[in-house]
Amino acid sequence: MNLEPLFVQTFHSASTVHASSPGRVNLIGEHTDYNEGLVLPTPIPQRCEMLFAARADDRVEIYSVQMQTQAGYALGAESAGQTWLDYAQAITQELARAGHALRGFNAVVSSDVPLGSGLSSSASFLVTVAKGLRELFNLEITDVAVAQLAQAAENGLVGARVGLMDQMACSLGKAGEALLIDFRTLEYRSIRLPETMELVIVHSGLTHSLAGHESGTRNYKTRRLECERACALLGVKSLRDLELSDLERVAALPAPFAGRARHVITENARVLETVAALEAGDLQRVGELFYASHASMSADYDVSEPEIDLIVQIARRTVGIYGARLTGGGFGGSVVMIADRGAGRIAGEAVMLEYTAQTGQSPRLLSPAV
Ligand code: ADP
Ligand code: MG
């Protein structure tokens, strides 16, 4: 989409900087990032695109195509208003805190990453603002630092306790590659995805909330606390300190801590196995690891839902699909599947048809994009 005519129409002058960043899907390595573990996200084709131009004053004015509104604030007067503008306010606040000199700017944002569907429209928006401002004001920031600032922004003014995976994937990810990230060291390595592979992403129609203030124990915040408790019971600093050989010791923990720890330990091992299988082009093996990851998330980590389990079950008997698993934090959200290139759309639609017939839910095919 060419945003320049819209920029000129909105701000009566031309833009000077273009920035963009993709949404992401996590292939495997779920609930491992905050346990100093391994993750394997990959960018999706959908992106957040922005145009920028500096202003003479200290105001920020942004037009969002998706929100169909313009909103603004003064630099240094950022304050949470529970609207989409919080994302922009959060990142300018973090840039200033990190000592970067900003001036006011105009911007237009448009994203074809579906908003609020677990493909990280939020991180791609934050990363795109940070990269745009880096260029506009000649700031010295590495791509890793962009990701860290975006995380600080989401943890800060936005108020969502998220890990660093999404921002790393959006800031550093390249098409056709996955990013193996080690959250103990923040070391990362690009993994070329097999040309023969196509990703299928189906949104279940169930929404999730990361906020963690819903009642009960089936939420993200509780899982984080349970991991901390498991560490205390096992006398380790982080679940990353444990190996497959520790599983016997872990099994002796009371419920639910045994399952929580077992998921994280086995999931880290599955990430490495998936990398090896991808490098060998062995989609069958990648698929088996996806199913194993899902079973672990469902039984041990208890972040799935009956509807999500059903999508995975249907995928198992759908021709052309090698593997399927819940992706993202859970309690709803999307399932990521692996198919042969060119076969993804038909396989995904077949899964959705049966799922809809059985549940009455309204799933959406998020990838391959239309
Ligand atoms: P996800 O990251 O899974 O898409 P989030 O709830 O974390 O879901 O982030 C979605 C929010 O990010 C939106 O509700 C909106 O506030 C903000 N956002 C993302 N992209 C845009 C955009 N193009 N224009 C305005 N706000 C956006
Ligand atoms: Mg998000």
Is the domain of 154 the same as that of 255?
Answer: no
pLDDT of residue 208: 66
User: 190, 222, 254 — which closes off a domain?
Assistant: 190
Question: How does the average pLDDT of the chain come out, rounded?
Answer: 96
Taking CA atoms only, the protein residue closest to ligand 1 atom 12 is 122
Over residues 311-339, the pLDDT tens digits come to 999 999 999 999 999 999 899 999 999 99
pLDDT of residue 163: 85
In one-letter notation, the amino acid at residue 3 is L
Asked whether 211 lines ligand 1 (CB < 6 A), one says no
Number of domains in the chain: 2
CB burial of 166-181 (b: ≥16 within 10 Å; e: otherwise) equals bbbbbbbbeeeebbbb
Over residues 140-157, the pLDDT tens digits come to 999 999 999 999 999 999
CB burial of 108-123 (b: ≥16 within 10 Å; e: otherwise) equals bbbbbbbeebbbbbbb
Is the domain of 347 the same as that of 266?
Answer: yes
Q: Which residues contact 360 (CB under 8 A, 6 or more apart)?
A: none
Has 166 been annotated as catalytic? yes
Over residues 338-354, the pLDDT tens digits come to 999 999 999 999 999 99
User: What is the rounded CA–CA span in Å between residue 94 and residue 105?
Assistant: 16
C-alpha torsion angle, residues 335, 64, 213, 233 (rounded to 10):
60
- For residue 6, what is the enclosing H or E element? helix 4-11
For 337, the domain range is 194-367
Residue found under tokens 């800060």:
156
Residue 212: pLDDT over 60? no
Q: Is residue 207 part of a domain?
A: yes
Q: Which residues contact 84 (CB under 8 A, 6 or more apart)?
A: 64, 67, 71
Q: Per the residue annotation, which of 166, 241, 282, 309 is the catalytic one?
A: 166
Asked whether 327 lines ligand 1 (CB < 6 A), one says no
Q: What angle do CA 127, 131, 137 make, to 5 degrees?
A: 140
Ligand 1 atom closest to Cα of residue 160: 7
Asked whether 66 lines ligand 1 (CB < 6 A), one says yes
From the CA of 124, which ligand is nearest? 1
pLDDT of residue 211: 47
pLDDT of residue 214: 62
Is the domain of 199 the same as that of 161?
Answer: no
- For residue 197, what is the enclosing H or E element? strand 197-203
pLDDT of residue 369: 83
Give mean pLDDT, residues 286-296.
98
Residues with CB under 5 A from ligand 2 (ion): 122
> CATH number for the domain including 297?
3.30.70.890
Higher pLDDT, 215 or 123: 123
Over residues 270-284, the pLDDT tens digits come to 999 999 999 999 999
Residue 288: pLDDT over 80? yes
Give mean pLDDT, residues 64-72.
98
For residue 64, the SS3 value is strand
User: 144, 166, 190 — which closes off a domain?
Assistant: 190
From the CA of 89, which ligand is nearest? 1
> CATH number for the domain including 68?
3.30.230.10
User: What is the rounded CA–CA span in Å between residue 196 and residue 184?
Assistant: 32
